[in-house]
Structure 1
């Protein structure tokens, strides 16, 4: 029998994170497109990001029939946060568009699933691509990063907003994320965590 869940953060009631989720305003609009395989994941950071930002929307699916409408936000310059040969640094791209606010589209899923989202939605693949600065370190202590600089979705969102909305900072978004990870480590036990994810000490 499954445990009762919080209808907002989808965590078991006894581990509800809602008290830690901020409500932050941003000029930048976030559109997070989540692959269905991520919805039931215990560490669903895309949901936390969307809950903590007033100007963010989370959509779940593989094919988004209404993508043209989602991207047609008057006054916004649209770009995709995803690496690629022709990707520009986010800071450089933002400088080029000047005062116009950005609609930042963020695919959420494993790298393979995120690529599938682009493949299934050609309109996404056609967007200008932007990337974060290389060498960023993830606080995601429960997964080994598939490549240097790989971040969880919520970390990528915070890093992007810190660039676009400077001097404003969005670190408060990471509080429920860090509490979630601490809870997972506590549940598995420190020794198990160290053996599987730590330094073995």
Structure 2
């Protein structure tokens, strides 16, 4: 018998995070393309980001037939947040910068994210932007595949902090931090230290 689930944050009702999810405005529009395997993941950080940002959209799938319309909202230019040799570092908006950015963020393991690009040539063809090197993840429950590897919500927060400085988007990380703390508490200190300490 499965536990009752919150229909908004998809967490068990007893561990609902909705009270911690902010409602933040951003000039940047964020489009999250989520691999279906991530939907029921315990740490569905893309969903937390989409719920906490008023100018964000979460679309689940592998092949996105409506990509042309998703990538071209009026007044925005699309950029893919994904590493590449020719990826440009993100920079803060000037006061009159137009058009604004549509930040397209694939959500999944690195392998699944690459698969999304492979299956959607329009996505793969977008100009790429990247985060500054050396970011440290707060995601203490997972071995990062390399230095600077962040969860989806952390990458979005870091990107928005750069683009929209000095506005802070730290509040987006509150439910994420609570999720991590809850999982550590559930496994107990001994298990946490053995596996992640």
Q: Pick the TM interval, shorter chain.
A: over 0.9
The alignment partner of 2:40 has SS state of: coil
CA RMSD of aligned residues (A): 1.2
* Offset from partner CA, 1:26-70 (integer Å, 9 cap, x none): 010000000011011000000000000000000000000000010
Q: 4+ residue runs of structure 1 moved beyond 4 angstroms?
A: none
Partner of 2:49: 49
Partner of 2:99: 100
Supply the distance in 1 between the matched residues of 2:171 and 2:24 (Cα, whole angstroms): 9
Q: Does 1:112 align with 2:111?
A: yes
Supply the distance in 1 between the matched residues of 2:167 and 2:99 (Cα, whole angstroms): 17
Question: Per-residue deviation at 1:152?
Answer: 0.2
Partner of 2:77: 77
Partner of 1:63: 63
Aligned length, in residue pairs: 196
TM-score by length of 1: 0.95
Supply the distance in 1 between the matched residues of 2:171 and 2:89 (Cα, whole angstroms): 24
The alignment partner of 1:150 has SS state of: coil
> Which runs of no fewer than 5 residues in structure 2 stay unpaired?
none
Partner of 2:176: 177
Structure 1 residues 1-201: aligned runs within 5 Å: 1-91=1-91, 98-198=97-197
* Offset from partner CA, 1:106-139 (integer Å, 9 cap, x none): 0000000000000000000000000000000000
Supply the distance in 1 between the matched residues of 2:53 and 2:124 (Cα, whole angstroms): 25
Supply the distance in 2 between the matched residues of 1:129 and 1:29 (Cα, whole angstroms): 15
TM-score by length of 2: 0.97
Supply the distance in 1 between the matched residues of 2:35 and 2:181 (Cα, whole angstroms): 25
